[in-house]
Amino acid sequence: MKINSKIIVLALLVSGLISCNTNEKADGYGNFETTEITVSAENNGKLLQFELVEGALLKKEAFVGYIDTIPLTLKKDQLQISKEIVYSKSKGVLSQISVLKAELKTAQISKKRIENLLKENAGTQQQLDAINGKIDVLNQQIRSIKIQNASVVNELKSIDIQLLQLEDQLQKNIIINPVSGTVLAKYAEPNEIVSFGKPLYKIADLTTMQLRVYVSETQLATIKIGQKVTIKIDSTNTMKNYTGTISWIASEAEFTPKIIQTKEERVNLVYAVKIDVKNDDSLKIGMPAELWLNPSEN
């Protein structure tokens, strides 16, 4: 009888402890999320190469594939030829200016010689007037050719700008991964025709997940950015614990999301909180979890 009574007492104590634990409630509930980046095509054309597998890990600036560059390359070659033609015109104009400047220099030397002869009464005013007239004509011719050359120079600048634009488009035809992460979804296949803005794949860094939970105004005073908390997720037989760090607290209140609280609690205002949790490959986007603010007690 004594043994049976002891067993009953122990059973009552254990059941009492279990009931106490089951009555405990988490301080918040939410779902894991992360920053997802959708990489889109930056140009139009055929997707000639696109080596990508969903679930694969990609490093930042890794080569993923490229869009057909032949039309842009041909256009670039055409512009290069046009530039060479215009440049040859500019060289012809500049050579004319060089010839006229040489003639102008000779005329100015002749003018000084005639002026010296006039001082010694060995020259005539008519000779001086003639050489001044020639100098004026040469200056006008030089100005006229410079104006013609200005239009040629502007045309060369325009071609250079077009070449830079084409080079930029050619670079955008090469698909480079923007961030390190895991490929979540693939939206295109090789040899498909893609257009500007078409999504190609989605990627996210899953090494650290963010749990978004909502806390009441009374709980707000007990948390702060940088605080360590306990995060729990459902496991096979029990709850699996993680250590998280509060990284963001909303500055404005909002109504409690319907998916988390009961109808009566939905009318209350709460504050969104984000908690960074290091992922051991078990945490997935959208997975539910619990927040416990007092890890030492829980």
Tokens of 147: 């104006």
pLDDT score, position 259: 55
C-alpha dist (Å) from residue 85 to 92, 153, 288? 11, 12, 67
Cβ within 8 Å of residue 112, ≥6 positions away: none
CB atoms inside a 10 Å sphere around CB 76? 17
Domain over 28-35+206-292 is classified CATH 2.40.110.10: no
Residue 288, SS3 per DSSP: strand
Residues of the chain with CATH 2.40.50.100: 36-68+174-204
Residue 1, SS3 per DSSP: coil
Residues of the chain with CATH 2.40.30.170: 28-35+206-292
108 sits in which H/E element: helix 70-119
C-alpha dist (Å) from residue 46 to 1, 54, 67, 71, 216? 86, 21, 5, 11, 53
d(CA 236, CA 297) in angstroms, rounded, equals: 23
Q: Show contacts of 222-231: CB within 8 Å, 24+ apart.
A: 222/293, 223/249, 223/273, 223/293, 224/249, 225/249, 228/295, 229/275, 229/291, 229/292, 229/293, 229/295, 230/291, 230/292, 230/294, 230/295, 230/298, 231/275, 231/277, 231/289, 231/290, 231/291, 231/292
Tokens of 71: 């039309």
The residue among 67, 69, 59, 68 whose CA lies nearest residue 177 is 59
The residue among 249, 239, 240, 238 whose CA lies nearest residue 276 is 249
Residues of the chain with CATH 1.10.287.2610: 69-173
pLDDT score, position 260: 53
Domain at 36-68+174-204: CATH code = 2.40.50.100
pLDDT score, position 3: 45
**pLDDT tens, position by position, for the chain (298 residues)?**
444 444 443 444 444 444 344 446 888 899 999 999 999 999 999 999 998 999 999 999 999 999 998 888 889 899 988 888 888 877 777 777 787 788 888 888 888 888 888 888 777 888 888 888 888 888 888 887 777 777 778 888 899 999 999 999 999 999 999 999 999 999 999 999 999 999 999 999 999 999 999 988 888 888 999 999 999 998 878 889 999 999 999 988 887 665 554 444 554 788 999 999 999 999 999 999 999 987 444 4
DSSP letter for 186, please: E
Domain at 69-173: CATH code = 1.10.287.2610
Inter-axis angle of helices 70-119 and 125-172, nearest 10: 160
Q: Give pTM, 2 decimals.
A: 0.66
Task: Assess contact for 58 and 152: CB atoms under 8 A.
Answer: no
